[in-house]
Structures are given as C-alpha cells and as structure tokens.
Amino acid sequence: MQVFKFGGASVNNTDRIKNVAAILRQYSGQPLLVVISAMGKTTNALEKVAEAFYRGEKDQALQLFEQVKTQHLTTAKYLLVKNALACEARLRDFFTEVEWLLHDKPVRNFDYYYDQIVCTGELFSTSIVSAYLNEEGILNEWLDVRDVFRTDDNFRDAAIDLSFTAKRVASGVVPLFEQHNIVITQGFIGATDENESTTLGREGSDYTAAVFANLLGASSLSIWKDVEGVMNADPKLFPEAQLLRELNYDEVIEMAYYGAQVIHPKTIKPLQNKDIPLHVKCFLEPELPGTVIHNQSISGLPPIIVVKNDQVLVHLHTQDFSFIGEEPMSRLYEIFAAVKIKPNLIQSGAVSLVVCLDNRSDKIDQFASLAAALFDVQVEKGLRLLTIRHYNDTVLQQLTAGRKRVLVQQSEDTVQLLLS
Ligand code: ASP
Ligand code: MG
C-alpha cells in the first residue's frame, strides 16, 4: 500500500486533473490511498466567503460562493460525460449545505463557521477527480474523510484523535481496498464527535496523508508538487539552487522549523515513527526521481539556505537594570503563548534581550504592549533573517556581503543572521 498526496496546483484545471489520471495509470494494480487538496486557490476563495458571512454581508458571501460553485461545475462539465449527473448531484448537495448556513446569522465563533465552509473545497475537488478517474477506467472509491478522521473541536487547528481514527481506518478504509485498488479522499479536514466539520490548519493535507500512511502501514508516502523536489534554497531567490536527492527526517524538521516552505512540519513525525519513506515528486515530470526523505543519516549536504523577510526585532530592557533571570524569562514565554507567536530567534544579555518575530502587526502590537509591563520596549522593523545549515565561510560571505549583521547566532551546523 502506498499513499499519494496531490496538492491544489496539481488539480487546478482540467488538464492538470487529466495529468493526475495519467500518473495514477502508471501505478495500476497497486493499492493506493490518494489524498487530494482543494483545487488551486479554492481554499483562499472559501476563506473570503466565511469572512463576508461573519461580517454579516450575506449577499456578498453568497455571491463569492457562487463563483466557487461555477468554477467547479464548469470543471466537472468539461471533464465528465457518463458520471456528469451523479457528480453534479453530489456537488449540489455540498453547495446546499453551505448555502443553508450562509442564510443564517452567525451565532457561534468565526472559527466554527470557517471550518464548515472551508472544508468543502476538498470535498468538491475529490468528488470531481474521483468521478473523472472512474470514467477513465481508473476505478476508485470516494471516501469522505470526515467519517474517518475524528478530531477535537479546536476549529481551524483541530487535533486528530489518533486512537479513534486508527479504529476507523481499520474498519472503514482497509475494507474499501477489497473492491478497488484506489481510494480517493481529502486531506486537511475532519469531524468532531458531533459531526461538525473541522480543519487541521492551512496546508494540512500533507499531514493527513502522513497519518494515513502511518495508520495503514504504507510502504511509502509520495507528495506530488509542482517543483522538482526539495531544493537547498528557494530557486526564486537563488537561481543556482540545487535539488537535494536525499534528506533525513530530522533535517527536514530543522528546515521547516527555520521557515523553509518544504512540507508541513507535522508531516514528518507519523512517518518517522514507522520508518516510512517520503518521496517529494514533480507531477509535471513524474519520471524525475525527486527527493526521498528517510531515517538514514546523510553526509555531505550542501549549505541549505532559508530566508525569512519582513522580520521585526524587539529589544527588551529591564526597567530597573536588574539582571534578566528566570522570572522575567518565564513571564516572557507566557506572553508568547498568550499572543500565540513563535519567536524566530532570542538572544539574551545581562539586562536586555532581543526577540526576532515575523511582522504580523496585530501580534507585534499586542506583544509589545504586554511586554511593556516588564521591560522598556523598542521595535526595529524591516529586517531579513537568514538561516544557513551546513554553512561554510564562502557562503556566509556571499550571502551577507554589503549588509549589516544586526544579530548572529551560530552553532556547529547552523548559523542564523539577522540582516538589515
Ligand atoms: N486546501 C488546504 C490549503 O490550501 C489544505 C492543503 O492543501 O494542504 O491550505
Ligand atoms: Mg497545498
């Protein structure tokens, strides 16, 4: 058994969906559980629907939703012949549920409505792709993952109830493979014990696929993307970026931690626990080898570069020039938790410390005002955080030439530089 995950870009239009079919055809006869994201930018579009609804702009919400509907109905119409009516009927059932909700007035919190609306993107895309594959003779079973993935009710960032979900996978998913080799389902969404839809956080489909791989004891997970594989730097910023053919789990976790947009960081643990290799492959050129991520340690990696722009450095100075001890430190971490921000870098001295954060103005303001109860606070904006793993002097010189180093933190294998 293998698990595949196709992201939004891979099912963005009819040609891309045909391309997915061509890839799956290569694997005919092999059991595959296939997780598919919402088409293209559908999730963003549905977020706009949820926001308009919550602002009380019902007509606007309905109109925005109409665009999402049209786009999916049009795609289905172009792709399907035999299964057109059945697929359209299923899509319309999902549409109706959302429209009912949009006709109500919001009485619960935003995150709840967000999940009820946004979860439909993956239901639409998988319904269309499943119907198309069946028409093409790639016989598959469509599965509503909300019947399998049980979560808590922390809407928009729901946590999976693994033991319940494991039982459901055994009783509700494994038997599907007796009928067909392919099961098509959604990532990113789940349901509470009260059958309310939930989402696992943006870009959460990789994570769903990894949990499936773990619970099914899959031989591998393949994530199909529009890039060649994992690169050592963002090719948009560094044209000489190179493909990393092999990485180990810990390296990927480190890269994600420092802000590399490789794969959702939660994806690794479920795979690592069962030693399941992760392939990152290009859906545009499926014959390319891509990157494989596994447990073996790898030596001789080139420098891996992660850039985070729009950074803020907050300078905190004790008000009475007392040393910074456990007390202000623990208060500081309480503030991080209260504001829900993760510092990208912290450096402390005797009477002052500096904290590097992503520039999210609402959070920075909140953080600064809470911290002002303990410290004198100064905020410096417009910085760039550069992280280099496996650095050497040459790269370090190259990447920092002509820029002022505001802060440097260095360990044996990683250097972080905050540049102005
Ligand atoms: N469709 C969701 C998103 O765009 C989940 C995913 O694709 O991973 O965030
Ligand atoms: Mg995606």
Beta bridge partners of 141: 183
What pLDDT, on the 0 to 100 scale, is given for residue 265? 80
Average pLDDT over residues 96-123: 97
Residue-range domains of the chain with CATH: 2-226 (3.40.1160.10), 304-419 (3.30.2130.10)
What pLDDT, on the 0 to 100 scale, is given for residue 108? 96
H or E element at residue 144:
none
CA of residue 196 to ligand 1 center, whole Å: 19
Mention every residue, 6+ apart, whose C-beta is less than 8 A from residue 415.
387, 388, 391, 396, 408, 409
Average pLDDT over residues 106-111: 96
Instruction: Return the residue whose CA atom lies nearest to atom 5 of ligand 1.
Output: 203
What would the pLDDT profile of 282-333 be if each residue is shown by its tens digit?
999 999 999 999 999 998 899 999 999 999 999 999 888 788 888 888 999 9
Instruction: Return the residue whose CA atom lies nearest to atom 6 of ligand 1.
Output: 203
Instruction: Return the residue whose CA atom lies nearest to atom 8 of ligand 1.
Output: 203
Share of the chain above pLDDT 70, in %: 100
CA of residue 145 to ligand 1 center, whole Å: 14
* The model's pTM: 0.90
Ligand 1 atom with least separation from CA of 206: 8
Buried b (16+ CB within 10 A) or exposed e, 156-189: bbbebbeeebbebbeeebeebbeeebbbbbbbbb
What pLDDT, on the 0 to 100 scale, is given for residue 236? 87
CA of residue 37 to ligand 1 center, whole Å: 6
- Pocket of ligand 1, candidates 4, 6, 37: which has the most ligand atoms within 8 Å of its Cβ, to mutate? 37
- State yes or no: pLDDT of 70 exceeds 90: yes
Ligand 1 atom with least separation from CA of 264: 8
What would the pLDDT profile of 194-247 be if each residue is shown by its tens digit?
999 999 999 999 999 999 999 999 999 999 999 999 999 998 889 899 999 999
What would the pLDDT profile of 33-52 be if each residue is shown by its tens digit?
999 999 999 999 999 999 99
Mean pLDDT over the full length of the chain? 95
CA of residue 203 to ligand 2 center, whole Å: 5
Average pLDDT over residues 94-113: 97
Ligand 1 lining (C-beta closer than 6 Å):
7-8, 37-38, 43, 121, 187-188, 202-205
Query: How far apart are the C-alpha atoms of 301 and 372, rounded to whole Å?
Result: 43
Beta bridge partners of 358: 311
Ligand 1 atom with least separation from CA of 188: 5
E-state strands within 161-303: 182-186, 189-191, 197-199, 220-225, 246-248, 278-282, 291-294
CB-based contact 280:264 (threshold 8 Å): no
Mention every residue, 6+ apart, whose C-beta is less than 8 A from residue 417.
385, 386, 387, 388, 399, 400, 405, 407, 408
Average pLDDT over residues 356-365: 92
What would the pLDDT profile of 252-290 be if each residue is shown by its tens digit?
998 988 888 878 888 999 999 999 999 999 999 999 999
Q: Which ligand is nearest to the CA of 261?
A: 2
What pLDDT, on the 0 to 100 scale, is given for residue 261? 82
Average pLDDT over residues 17-31: 97
CA of residue 40 to ligand 2 center, whole Å: 8
Instruction: Return the residue whose CA atom lies nearest to atom 2 of ligand 1.
Output: 203
CA of residue 8 to ligand 2 center, whole Å: 5
Average pLDDT over residues 127-152: 98
CA of residue 82 to ligand 2 center, whole Å: 30
Token pair in block for residue 16: 């891309």
Ligand 1 atom with least separation from CA of 201: 9
Ligand 1 atom with least separation from CA of 122: 1
Ligand 1 atom with least separation from CA of 205: 8
What pLDDT, on the 0 to 100 scale, is given for residue 225? 95
What pLDDT, on the 0 to 100 scale, is given for residue 115? 98
- Pocket of ligand 1, candidates 5, 34, 35, 43: which has the most ligand atoms within 8 Å of its Cβ, to mutate? 43
What pLDDT, on the 0 to 100 scale, is given for residue 288? 96
H or E element at residue 138:
none
Query: How far apart are the C-alpha atoms of 290 and 265, rounded to whole Å?
Result: 19
Average pLDDT over residues 108-117: 97
CA of residue 419 to ligand 1 center, whole Å: 32
CA of residue 255 to ligand 1 center, whole Å: 20
Token pair in block for residue 329: 């430190």
